Amino acid sequence: MCTSSMVMFLITGGQEFNMEGPDVPVVPAPGSDIILPCSIKPKASEQSHVSAVDMEVKWSRTDLNSAVVHHYMDKIDKNEDQDPSYRGRTALFKEELQYGNTSLLLKNVKVSDEGQYTCQVDSAHQKDHVSVLLKVEGAPEITVLGTDSGEVFLQCDSKGWWPVPELQWLDSEGAEVPAGVKESHRDDRGFNVRLHLTANSNSTKTYICRVKQGQHVMEEKIDITGNLHY
């Protein structure tokens, strides 16, 4: 009789759920606003959804000693212990919690945001979590190093990649321009790459620095004219 009472309590006292997250990394560009997907689904097939309004939702960085990214509990945000680097940049979709959507909105993505995230949901009778991998693309940055005898020395950098991406200089027609040897080094954010180019400052021409990894391509342009002085 006691066992039956316990079973009935678990069934009527709280909805059991499964958690769902993405199977592939989320890959945004720096400066963009992105969504880290996470949701809870009812285990019972006759239920259309399960509400997370009364549950605790915690997003954290697994690779940063479980640093708190966003914390929701007792129907409000409780971000007193939130990592300072995420202040003012995170939010849950409150109107979607009733449908089990516990995804996180992350604003103004930085290369330093790259890493392994954990979405944990706690109810009165169940605790579960899923992992979400965030890989931030490093937009190329062009620097004019100087000029000498009608030549302009350009440098292109792109940071925070994994693995090492392709890096190229192109002309305005999209044809590859001979450049120096690509440099690369690795830090805790991933691989950083650099490529130099010597351009003729007396010509009117647009140069493009392109970084590519698989299907992800990012470009930065610079116009070189005879009036360029540094």
The tens digit of pLDDT for each residue in 14-31 reads 578 999 999 988 988 777
The domain spans of the chain are 17-134, 141-224
Do the domains at 17-134 and 141-224 have one common CATH topology?
Answer: yes
Domain with residues 141-224, CATH architecture? Sandwich (2.60)
Q: Tell me the C-alpha distance between 230 and 227, whole Å.
A: 10
Give the other-Cβ count within 10 Å of 40's Cβ: 28
Average pLDDT, the chain: 86
**CB–CB of 200/150 below 8 Å?**
yes
Strands 205-213 and 190-200: unpaired
The tens digit of pLDDT for each residue in 179-217 reads 999 999 988 667 899 999 998 877 658 999 999 887 778
Q: Which CATH number fits domain 17-134: 2.60.40.10, 3.40.50.2300, 3.20.20.80, 1.20.140.10?
A: 2.60.40.10
Largest CA distance in the chain: 94
Prediction pTM value: 0.64
